[in-house]
């Protein structure tokens, strides 16, 4: 591998040390930072993610409450639970783990979260603020990518950022963050013809499709920064969205695991602390 490995684990350790200090300061002021996580159903990947969020909160001195609801929970029951958490002054951040079971309307669920407690930044008010470059909760994965790029001194203003994938969790907020950071931004999706022609123009290439081998070395410019957001399980192993041969062509590359994944959890802690500090006034 000739690309410089962008070590999300190392950056996370540094960020989490800061989060621990921030949590301690809040506690010294009589405020216990508190994240509430709602998990509906028993999707194994979601259970794993929620478990790692719980552990990270505990290590940082942030209280976490995980509310596990059965897979057949009614929309009204879930919304009532969110309203309860909105009204609970001891809770600073609320996260509903996605995806939700098919019978639930995720848009309505997210809109029920108080935007001031929307630790994921998925509420339309926070997405709208991000689009306007106003202060807002920012979705954890793209926020983590911005921190990782900054830690490796990657210059964003004036660069061409190509994003493959337009999800609400990664692609869209990533595009907005990059626009706000003065990049030239191209967003591709599964219907983009000649994807390689576009990805080869990228100084910074963010791949977030949820499909293994979306991008291979032939689609990457020599020396480019490649951010692999994918976590795909295949024959018992973890793979990103980027093929292994990209490591010989890119200048910088995030590994899977150990790249973007840990950054997402670190940003969740930092977003929770932002909200707790804000609600303190």
**What is the DSSP secondary structure assignment for residue 104, as one 8-state letter?**
S
Query: Which residue from 19, 73, 126, 141 is in contact with ligand GUN, where contact means CB under 6 A?
Result: 141
Q: For ligand GUN, which is the closer residue by CB, 137 or 214? A: 137
Q: For ligand GUN, which is the closer residue by CB, 120 or 274? A: 120
**What is the DSSP secondary structure assignment for residue 209, as one 8-state letter?**
S
* CA pair distance 270, 16, nearest whole angstrom: 8
Q: Is 97 a catalytic residue?
A: yes
Q: Is 117 a catalytic residue?
A: no
Q: For ligand GUN, which is the closer residue by CB, 55 or 182? A: 55
Choosing from 118, 120, 203, 241, which is the catalytic residue? 120
Smallest separation, CB 224 to ligand GUN (Å): 25
Smallest separation, CB 267 to ligand GUN (Å): 9
Going from the C-alpha of 195 to that of each of 198, 200, 227, the distances in angstroms are 5, 9, 16
Q: For ligand GUN, which is the closer residue by CB, 97 or 254? A: 97
What mask of x and - would describe binding to ligand GUN in positions 184 to 223, judged by CB under 6 A? ----------------------------------------
Q: For ligand GUN, which is the closer residue by CB, 73 or 264? A: 264
Residue 63, classed as helix, strand or coil, is strand
Chain centre distance of CA 68:
21
Contact in structure between 253 and 217 (CB atoms under 8 Å): no
**What is the DSSP secondary structure assignment for residue 137, as one 8-state letter?**
-
Show the beta-strand stretches assigned E in 59-183: 63-69, 93-96, 160-164
Show the beta-strand stretches assigned E in 230-280: 232-234, 237-239, 252-253
Smallest separation, CB 23 to ligand GUN (Å): 20
Helical H segments across the chain, by residue range = 8-28, 44-60, 75-87, 106-112, 124-131, 140-151, 171-180, 195-199, 260-280
Residue numbers 53-112 binding ligand GUN by CB under 6 A:
95-98
Closest CA to 213 of 196, 197, 198, 201: 196
Closest CA to 276 of 24, 31, 9, 4: 31
Pairing of strands 63-69, 252-253: unpaired
Binding residues with ligand GUN: total (CB under 6 A): 9
Smallest separation, CB 120 to ligand GUN (Å): 5
Task: Give helix then strand counts, H and E, for the chain.
Answer: 9, 11
Q: For ligand GUN, which is the closer residue by CB, 22 or 53? A: 53
Smallest separation, CB 45 to ligand GUN (Å): 8
What mask of x and - would describe binding to ligand GUN in positions 144 to 183, judged by CB under 6 A? -------------------------x--------------
Task: Establish if 118 lies at the interface with ligand GUN (CB under 6 A).
Answer: no
Residues at the site binding ligand GUN, with contacts judged by CB under 6 A = 95-98, 120, 140-141, 169, 264
Residues noted as catalytic: 53, 97, 120
């Amino acid at each position: 591998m000739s690309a410089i490995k962008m070590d999300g684990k190392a950056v996370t350790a540094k960020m989490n040390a800061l989060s621990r200090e921030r949590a301690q300061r809040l506690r010294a002021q009589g405020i216990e930072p508190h994240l509430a996580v709602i998990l509906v159903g028993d999707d194994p990947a979601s259970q794993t993610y929620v478990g790692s969020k719980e552990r990270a909160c505990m290590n940082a001195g942030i209280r976490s409450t995980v509310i596990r609801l059965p897979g057949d929970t009614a929309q009204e029951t879930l919304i009532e639970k969110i309203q309860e958490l909105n009204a609970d002054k001891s809770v600073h951040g609320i996260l509903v783990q996605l995806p939700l079971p098919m019978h639930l309307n995720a848009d309505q669920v997210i809109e029920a979260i108080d935007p001031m407690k929307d630790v994921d930044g998925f509420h339309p008010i926070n997405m709208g603020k991000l689009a306007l470059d106003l202060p807002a909760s920012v979705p954890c994965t793209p926020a983590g990518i911005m921190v990782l790029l900054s830690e490796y001194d990657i210059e964003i203003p004036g660069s061409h950022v190509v994003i493959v994938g337009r999800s609400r969790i990664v692609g869209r907020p990533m595009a907005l963050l990059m626009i706000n950071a003065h990049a030239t931004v191209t967003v591709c999706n599964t219907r983009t013809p000649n994807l390689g022609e576009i990805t080869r123009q990228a100084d910074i290439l963010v791949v977030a499709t949820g499909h293994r081998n979306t991008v291979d070395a032939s689609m990457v410019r020599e020396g480019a920064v490649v951010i692999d957001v994918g976590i795909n399980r295949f024959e018992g192993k973890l793979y990103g969205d980027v093929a292994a041969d990209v490591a010989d062509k890119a200048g910088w590359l995030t590994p899977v695991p150990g790249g973007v994944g840990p950054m997402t959890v670190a940003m969740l802690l930092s977003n929770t602390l932002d909200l707790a500090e804000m609600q303190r006034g």
